[in-house]
Amino acid sequence: MRGNTRQRFVIAALALLVMASAVAGCSTPHKEIDAIGVVAAVEWTPAGNSGVYKVTFDDGRTYEMQGGPQTGLGPSPNAGDLLIAGSKPSNWMLVAPLRDISDMPVLCYGLVENGEERDTTVELDFGITLQKAPDFDEGGRNPKFSARITGGVICLNREGQVRKIY
């Protein structure tokens, strides 16, 4: 009986260790996207260690968020950049500047992030999932298998869909 209890304890401890490892691997919570667009103008009003960003997109929409350079929100967007932003689980933004990549026949807003390429999406380690564009260029990769993205440029269209991965 004593050996059986010890064996159950060891199995339970191993199961907890495996579960803890799985949870630790998912340390970046999923972020919800509130706004995607090409920036026309940005106003930042400082307030102590924070402030308020007011972004006007080139289609006339506006988006406001709390934050600033001192709060770890990320780089400030500039006119002409593609902005992807959200407020859950807390305020965040990704800025993708327009890039001149010679083998892209159309605009490429370049985002430098790590992640996983899936069949129809790209899941960024940052915590968001982007859809692949209808004209996504596979670039010789097999779309049926996931592929790790590290240190490359993820080209987005103006809707924030992935066009190609370099």
**pLDDT confidence of residue 64:** 93
Residue 16, pLDDT > 60, answer: no
Q: Where are the alpha helices (DSSP H) in the chain?
A: 2-25
**pLDDT confidence of residue 29:** 77
Residue 11, pLDDT > 50, answer: no
Q: pLDDT digits over 57-86, tens only?
A: 999 999 998 876 555 566 788 999 999 999
Residues contacting residue 117 through CB under 8 Å, at least 6 positions apart: 141, 146, 147, 148, 149, 165
Q: pLDDT digits over 37-57, tens only?
A: 999 999 988 877 778 889 999
**pLDDT confidence of residue 166:** 79
